[in-house]
Amino acid sequence: MVPTKDRNVQSIYIDYKGEGILVDCGEGTQRQMNIAGINRLKVKKILISHWHGDHVSGLIGLIQTMGNQETSQKLIIYGPKGTKLHMNHLLNSCIFDLSIKLEINELNIKNKTVIFENKDYMIEAAPLEHSTPCLGYSFMEKDKRRINLPKAKALGLKEGPLLGKLQRGESVKHEGKEIHPDDVSRIVSGKKSTFIMDTALTQNCYELAENSFLIVSEATYDSSLNEKANQYKHMTAEGAAMIASQAKAKKLILTHFSQRYKTLNDLKKEAKEVFPNTEMAFDFMKVKL
């Protein structure tokens, strides 16, 4: 909830084909990006889970810095109910020229919903249960067809328009012979990553996380503090592990730990008993899928 000597507050950076997507933007995010060697101008979308300060108080500085560049920038922001009002307050909280194009999408949704889609990926959001409107998000890479170049060359095909059509799933004719996509390629399944922040354990957590390769989840408490977790609508390490287990995920990363924990051993042990492939997040942690 507050920065410590060892841990900053919440922000996760997704890099996909050079495009940057932030999940939350807590205080100090752009400085952390500098240290990590991440170009802030790559950020094209920000997915806000909710409007508590530890998740959004870095927004104004990031927007101002992005606007200092000579090139025209566009930033798309998604967030829960109230996002347009909060953004308006934020932009009027200090004096600066808004020199980037801002697109603000307020998601007043009741169920898991696709909020963005292009040819490469889609983003889903689902409402969670916190003390203020809150959303979880999934980033879903689409399935792709991968060409087997040795097979293609054996049929006399070289890189060019014919291979492009085959990669798009279209059949082609070459030297009088019809070649089907499955003759020279295979489908590679896209990977899904789910981000669950600040919520009680709800059905939407399970639905959003279904079939995820990676789940990043808050784990503010261990199960001995279940009553406190319920009171403040936060997740326990055991609860996050239950989501990962039911989703048949490959990996779980826990984050957003209470300051009461001097070490994370108890949280890690509790989660691993339910879902063995659990890791604890640390600042500047990188995961390649």
Q: Please report the sign of the dihedral spanned by the C-alpha atoms of residue 176, residue 177, residue 181, residue 186.
A: negative
DSSP state of 191: P
- What is the pLDDT of the chain when averaged over all its residues? 93
Same domain, 115 and 25: yes
- Whole-model pTM above 0.85? yes
Last residue of a domain, one of 154, 186, 218: 186
pLDDT surpassing 80 at residue 71: no
Distance (Å, whole) CA 219 – CA 268: 10
Same domain, 175 and 233: no
Identified catalytic residue from 54, 97, 120, 198: 54
Distance (Å, whole) CA 284 – CA 15: 14
* pLDDT score for 70: 67
Last residue of a domain, one of 186, 219, 253: 186
Q: Does the residue 1 lie in any domain?
A: no
**pLDDT-derived band at 11, boundaries 50, 70, 90:** very high
- HSE, CB side, 13 Å, CA atoms: give it for residue 224: 6
Which is more confident, 150 or 230? 230
Q: Does the residue 168 lie in any domain?
A: yes
**Least confident range of 148-157, 258-267, 277-286:** 148-157
Same domain, 175 and 51: no
Q: Does the residue 175 lie in any domain?
A: yes
113-122: list long-range contacts, CB under 8 Å, 24+ apart: 115/78, 116/45, 116/78, 120/16, 120/17, 121/16, 121/190
One-letter amino acid at 136 equals G
Q: Does the residue 285 lie in any domain?
A: no
**pLDDT-derived band at 160, boundaries 50, 70, 90:** confident
Same domain, 114 and 50: yes
* pLDDT score for 175: 83
Same domain, 17 and 123: yes
CATH number of 92's domain = 3.60.15.10
What are 85-122's pLDDT values in tens digits?
999 999 999 887 788 899 999 999 999 999 999 999 99
Last residue of a domain, one of 162, 186, 210: 186
Same domain, 57 and 169: no
Domain span including residue 75: 12-143+189-280
Same domain, 104 and 208: yes
| Joined tokens for residue 242 | 């239950």
3-state DSSP assignment of residue 12: strand
Same domain, 111 and 234: yes
Same domain, 204 and 167: no
Active site residue 54: yes
Q: Does the residue 2 lie in any domain?
A: no
Same domain, 38 and 90: yes
DSSP state of 17: T
* pLDDT score for 263: 93
3-state DSSP assignment of residue 28: coil
Contacts for 9 with CB less than 8 Å, ≥ 6 apart: 1, 2, 3, 26, 27, 28, 54, 55, 57
Total domains, the chain: 2
Q: Does the residue 165 lie in any domain?
A: yes
Q: Does the residue 35 lie in any domain?
A: yes
Distance (Å, whole) CA 267 – CA 264: 5
pLDDT surpassing 80 at residue 29: yes
Same domain, 26 and 63: yes
Same domain, 128 and 31: yes
**pLDDT-derived band at 178, boundaries 50, 70, 90:** confident
What are 204-249's pLDDT values in tens digits?
999 999 999 999 999 999 999 999 999 999 999 999 999 999 999 9
Q: Does the residue 163 lie in any domain?
A: yes
Query: Maximum distance among all alpha carbons in the chain?
Result: 72
**pLDDT-derived band at 195, boundaries 50, 70, 90:** very high
Kindly state the average pLDDT of the residues 186-206: 95
pLDDT surpassing 70 at residue 260: yes
